[in-house]
Every structure is written in structure tokens, then in C-alpha cells.
Amino acid sequence: MSTVAKVFVVLNLLLAVAVLGAAAAFLGHSDNWKARHDTLKQMSTATETKLNADIADQKRANTDLTVQVAAANTAKDKAIAAEQAITEAYGQLKKGYDESNASYLTATRSLLTSSNTIAEMRKLIDELWKERDALKDKLSQANDAMTAAIQGENKANNALEAATTQLNDTLAKLATTEGELQRKTFQLESIIRANPGFGNGTEQPSQTGKVLLSDNQANIVVISLGSEDGVKNGFRYTVSRGASFVATIEITNVMAKSAAGRVLNGMSKSPVQPGDDLMTAR
């Protein structure tokens, strides 16, 4: 027998065994199928009952969940509204905080400026106090100086009054002397007229000098020339100021270093003044 035939025989044997096994298995399965079917049906019925109960429970749970969802949505809406209110409140608070912070910064800058201003004002006040003390010292010194000046003025006034009194006395004496000189001059002129040739050798020399004192109301002029310069009563001098003629005077009283006289003629608008020049009249 060939190898192929052997293989076919083995294959046929194996196939036969397999068919027999399958038939046995099928028969055994058929026997148990009905029992298993009944068991499965009972189990299916119980499962269906349980499933229906679970479905009912699930429906109730769904209803509860729907109510809870609605409540949750309502709570969500309330929460959103509360969140919006809180957001708005936060915005207001943030705005208030920013404004407060800006006000605080402004107040801080103002405080710093005020502090600097106060420091400057204190420094200025200190300087003003120092200046005040210095001014008080100067005022005290000025008061002392004013007191001394007043005292000096009083002394000067007293001296002026004394000098004025003395001057008035001198002017009175000069007036009296002038009157006496006028009388003597008249007597001398009378003698000269009665005695021609008397007085020869008294020709007035050429002289220059200055006016020392003048009293135009009393018509008295005091010059810087006197008997030591050869001045005699009756001498006449021309008074000038610069290149302008002022007056002509005649000596009526001679002293050692000065002489007094009267104005014979002159310019009424320009009276004789101390310091005027004089020279011998020709």
C-alpha cells in the first residue's frame, strides 16, 4: 500500500472519530438544552422583573434628578446673579480702592509738600526771628543815636540861641556904633568943610578882600580888612560876585582885622552876601 493510501486511511479514521465525537456531543447537548432553556427562561423572567424595577427606580431617579437639575439651574442662576452682583460690588470696591489709593497718594504728596513747606516756614521763621533780633538791636542803637542826636540838637539849639542872642547883641551894638559913627562922621565932615585941606594924606590905597558878614535889613556889612591893613572910616569898596556888580559900601567902623560899613547903593534883587569879593572903589 502506498504512502498516500495510508494517509487517506488515517485521515478517514480521524474523520470518522471526529464525526462520532460530534454526534455524541450534539446528542448530549440536545439533552441538556431544554433544562438550560427552562433555567434561562426563569432567569430571564427574573432579570426582566428586576430590570423593570430598576427602570422604574431609574425613572424615579431621573425625575428626582430632573428636579435636582432644575433646582441646580435655579441655584446656578442665583449664583450667577450673585456672582455678577459680587463682581459689580468688587468693581465698585476696586474703584473706591483706586480712588482712595489715589487720594492717599495725593494726600501723601500734599503731606510731604506740607512737611517741606513747614520746614521752610520754620527756617524762615527762625531767620525772621534772627532778623527781628538784629532789627531790635539796630532799633535800640538807632534810639540811642536818636537820643544822642536829640541831645546834640538841643545843645546845638541852645548854642544857636546863645549865638543868635550874641549876634543880635552884636548887631545892636553895631547899629549903635553906626549911629555914633554917623554922628562923628558928620562932625568930621563939618570940620573938614570948615577947614579946607584937613585930612590930606588919607588917600585910600588899592585893596581887595572878602565880605565876612552881612545884615541887609540892618544895612551892616563886615569885611576881611581892618586897621592892620590900613582901612579907615570913610573908605569905600565895590562889592562884586563873579563878574557882576553887587553894591558899593562905605566903612563906618574899623577894627584890627575887620571893618564894618554900610551899603551906599546896590542891586536890591542881589543883596550883599558872605563870600562876595570887594575891591577899592574908584
Distance of alpha carbon 267 from alpha carbon 12, whole angstroms: 193
Lowest mean pLDDT, pick from 28-37, 203-212, 261-270: 28-37
Q: Is residue 273 part of a domain?
A: yes
End-to-end Cα, the chain, rounded Å: 212
Hey, what's the cell of 185? 562922621
Mean pLDDT along residues 32-40: 75
pLDDT at 164: 72
Q: Is residue 72 part of a domain?
A: yes
pLDDT at 200: 43
Angle at 269 between CA 181 and CA 214, to 5 degrees: 35
Asked if pLDDT for residue 160 goes beyond 80, the answer is no
pLDDT at 188: 55
Q: Is residue 189 part of a domain?
A: no
Q: What is the pLDDT of residues 234-263, one digit of tens each?
A: 999 999 999 899 999 999 999 999 999 999
Q: Is residue 263 part of a domain?
A: yes
245: left (phi over 0), alpha (psi -120 to 50) or beta: beta
pLDDT at 199: 46
- Which structural domain range is residue 229 located in? 201-280
Pair (211, 134) in one structural domain: no
Distance of alpha carbon 158 from alpha carbon 161, whole angstroms: 5
Task: Give 206's DSSP letter.
Answer: P
Burial class (CB in 10 A: 0-12, 13-18, 19+), 250: middle
CA dihedral 43, 49, 54, 57 (to 10 degrees): -160
Instruction: Name beta bridge partners: 211.
Output: 223
CATH number of the domain within which 244 lies = 2.40.10.340
Of 2 and 258, the one with more pLDDT = 258
Q: Is residue 40 part of a domain?
A: yes
For the stretch 133-138, contacts whose Cβ atoms lie closer than 8 Å and that sit 24 or more positions apart, written own/partner, are none
Q: Which of 110, 145, 180 is the last residue of a domain?
A: 145
Looking at the 3D structure of the chain, how many domains does it have?
Answer: 2
State the average pLDDT for the chain. Answer: 80
Q: What is the pLDDT of residues 48-95, one digit of tens each?
A: 888 788 878 878 877 887 888 788 788 888 878 878 886 887 788 788
Of 157 and 231, the one with more pLDDT = 231
Pair (39, 134) in one structural domain: yes
Mean pLDDT along residues 123-134: 84
pLDDT at 192: 46
Distance of alpha carbon 128 from alpha carbon 134, whole angstroms: 9
Q: Which of 78, 113, 145 is the last residue of a domain?
A: 145
Distance of alpha carbon 25 from alpha carbon 104, whole angstroms: 98
Q: What is the pLDDT of residues 172-217, one digit of tens each?
A: 776 666 556 555 545 554 454 444 444 444 578 999 999 999 998 8
Mean pLDDT along residues 9-15: 86
Mean pLDDT along residues 28-47: 76
